[in-house]
Chain A
Amino acid sequence: MPPMTDAAVEVRHRPAPVLVSLRGVSKTFPNGTVALSRLDLTVQAGEFLSLIGPSGCGKSTALRMLAGLTEPSTGAISWTGTRPEIGFVFQEPTLMPWASVFNNVWLPLRLRGIGKAEARPRIEDALAMVGLESFAASYPRELSGGMKMRVSIARALVLRPPLLLMDEPFAALDEITRSRLNDDLMRLAAELGTTVVFVTHSVYESVYLSSRIVVMAARPGRAVAELAVEAPRERDEDFRTTPVYAETCRRASRALHAAMSGQDAL
């Protein structure tokens, strides 16, 4: 990568265009549970935004709304322009067990009417991005948990979506695998210029990955704090030992605890 010019630094500090915004969004489920109450959230193009909060704070619901999988009860979701192509990664790898890795990654392309032969280079490319080029013919059950998650990410990225939504994707993985996938995800998002909205329970993971963190509280689900991670997007393991990382983790933890103690007071 060429050394960063002053112009590039300036671009970084200019407010990025808004990709999508949620305004006063509430969601009440048929059983009466208020999952979200008047949530305001803006996603900027190119950012890595994490939503953290305790269970029941509506972070997954907000993500599903962005994906169009559930509609808000009140409020509005407005996209700048038309809704772009979206990639979604679930907490489980959610692969089709009867299909090879290749065919699993083919699915989004297939649903866009792209035949196998035409899709092949794009599938191979996506698999190479996650380091699984030699596993195209394998079946999901032959892979480890981390590898399955990599396939899931390759599938989400195969259409090169401008927006990638991830719902606690690494929660079920061991620490080493998780940290490796964090690094790979960060690299991919930067390389492809993908905007990422990432839901997690882990303060450390959110600080390591994100450019911005929104802390949410439960009952009713709402956003209570927002913090920017004042560090360049290109990070590695060394970032975990920097004062910025430690300080941001502390602030995020405090905000999270405040959100959770407020919940206890209720």
Chain B
Amino acid sequence: MTVLSAPEPLVEAEIPAEPLGFRTRRLLPHRASEVLLPAAVFLLALLGWEAIVRLRGIPPYILPAPSLIVATLVKDWGVLSAALLVTLGTTVEALGLAIAGSLVLAMLFAQSKWIERAFFPFAVVLQVTPVVAIAPLLLIYLDGHTAVLVCAFLVAFFPILSNTALGLASTDHNLVELMELYRAPRWRQILLLRLPAAMPYFLGGLRIGGGLALIGAIVAEIAAGSAGQGSGLAFRIVESGFRLNIPRMFAALTLISFTGIVIYLAFGALGHLVLHRWHDSARSRGQ
């Protein structure tokens, strides 16, 4: 039995085309599975949605079809784009503040364990308290715009802070000693060593914080919106809800999702741009 079956795999192994064919077959599905497959599935889901709405005759105030949502987006673009700009403005501002604040604080933490021990609990308390619970309080103390800004800042701040602090702390100890050997002043050590070493961690935090800043802004806008203030996307959603303008709600929702995706992709691209020459996270395996 074994004697008879032995020659077969030997012959097969001698066909040179096999590994080549295998390689080209692997390359194509790889790209397809990354881009084409999710796009196709998403498109199918939209078509299914459209079909169900049309076949069942579901009225638009219960569930609008995707085509109607797109039409609403075009028709209401004036209102929606203005709202988008407001929300985007808040998000960017909050993110900017969160980046600046967390960088400063993380560097303070890196200077001394005592500072970290003293102040880190505050950061944790701010993080674990749900922003939707803080928003009403902030709306009492602050004007609408500032309250929304602070909410978005609070949620974006912590992931960037904790990631950056971790990055600053995980600098190669031997490199730190090398700096000491050359008697480099502390600020040069931070600039030349700690900040670049923390970069992958910081960018990871940014990717989370960017999305969270948008969520924070939306949540706070909803809280503010029900108090009759604001003009952002979330406010438009609440307003459309009151008016039973469901297609516009969906259109605003689409814009929010789209903005979130763009933020995520933008920071992903930024990370790749900054890190691809040296960090494993931004390289494919075997490179």
Residues of A that sit less than 8 Å from B by CB:
67-69, 86, 88, 90, 92, 94, 96-99, 107-108, 110-112, 139-141
Closest Cβ–Cβ distance, residue B282 to chain A (whole Å): 11
In the complex, what distance in Å separates the CA atom of A68 from the CA atom of B181? 7
* B192 contacts the other chain (CB 8 A): yes
A96 touches B174 (CB 8 A): no
Contacts of A98 in B (CB 8 A): 196-197, 199, 277-279
Residues of B that sit less than 8 Å from A by CB:
172, 174-175, 177-184, 188, 192-193, 196-197, 199, 277-280
Contacts of B277 in A (CB 8 A): 98, 139
B278 touches A97 (CB 8 A): yes
Given A107-B192, A139-B277, the answer on whether A96 and B175 have CB atoms closer than 8 Å is: yes
Contacts of B179 in A (CB 8 A): 111
Residue of A nearest to B195 (CB): A98
B199 touches A69 (CB 8 A): no
> 3 tightest CB-CB pairs across the interface, nearest first?
A94-B174, A111-B182, A98-B196
In the complex, what distance in Å separates the CA atom of A204 from the CA atom of B266? 55
In the complex, what distance in Å separates the CA atom of A112 from the CA atom of B188? 11
A111 touches B184 (CB 8 A): yes
Given A107-B192, A110-B192, the answer on whether A88 and B181 have CB atoms closer than 8 Å is: yes
A107-B182, A139-B277, A140-B278 are known; give 20 further A-B pairs, CB within 8 A. A68-B180, A69-B177, A86-B181, A88-B177, A88-B181, A92-B174, A94-B172, A94-B174, A96-B175, A96-B196, A96-B197, A98-B199, A98-B277, A98-B278, A98-B279, A99-B196, A99-B278, A110-B192, A111-B184, A141-B280
Instruction: Give 22 pairs: A residue, B residue, CB < 8 Å, sorted on A.
Output: A67-B181, A68-B180, A68-B181, A69-B177, A69-B180, A88-B177, A90-B177, A90-B178, A96-B192, A96-B197, A98-B196, A98-B197, A98-B277, A99-B278, A107-B178, A107-B192, A110-B192, A111-B192, A139-B278, A140-B278, A141-B278, A141-B280
Given A92-B174, A97-B278, A139-B278, the answer on whether A69 and B181 have CB atoms closer than 8 Å is: yes
In the complex, what distance in Å separates the CA atom of A67 from the CA atom of B180? 9
B180 touches A94 (CB 8 A): no
Contacts of B197 in A (CB 8 A): 96, 98
In the complex, what distance in Å separates the CA atom of A69 from the CA atom of B174? 11
Contacts of A111 in B (CB 8 A): 179, 182-184, 188, 192
In the complex, what distance in Å separates the CA atom of A97 from the CA atom of B280? 10
In the complex, what distance in Å separates the CA atom of A92 from the CA atom of B199? 22
Pick the contact of A94 from B178, B192, B278, B280 — CB < 8 Å?
A: B178
In the complex, what distance in Å separates the CA atom of A98 from the CA atom of B194? 11
Residue of B nearest to A87 (CB): B181
Residue of A nearest to B199 (CB): A98
- Most A CB atoms within 10 A — which of B188, B192, B197? B192
Contacts of B278 in A (CB 8 A): 97-99, 139-141
In the complex, what distance in Å separates the CA atom of A88 from the CA atom of B279? 25
Given A98-B196, A139-B278, A140-B278, the answer on whether A108 and B180 have CB atoms closer than 8 Å is: no
In the complex, what distance in Å separates the CA atom of A139 from the CA atom of B193? 16
Contacts of B175 in A (CB 8 A): 94, 96
Contacts of B279 in A (CB 8 A): 97-98
- Most B CB atoms within 10 A — which of A69, A107, A111, A141? A111
Residue of B nearest to A140 (CB): B278
Closest Cβ–Cβ distance, residue A138 to chain B (whole Å): 10
Contacts of B199 in A (CB 8 A): 98
Contacts of A112 in B (CB 8 A): 182
Contacts of A110 in B (CB 8 A): 192
In the complex, what distance in Å separates the CA atom of A141 from the CA atom of B192? 19
Contacts of B182 in A (CB 8 A): 107-108, 111-112
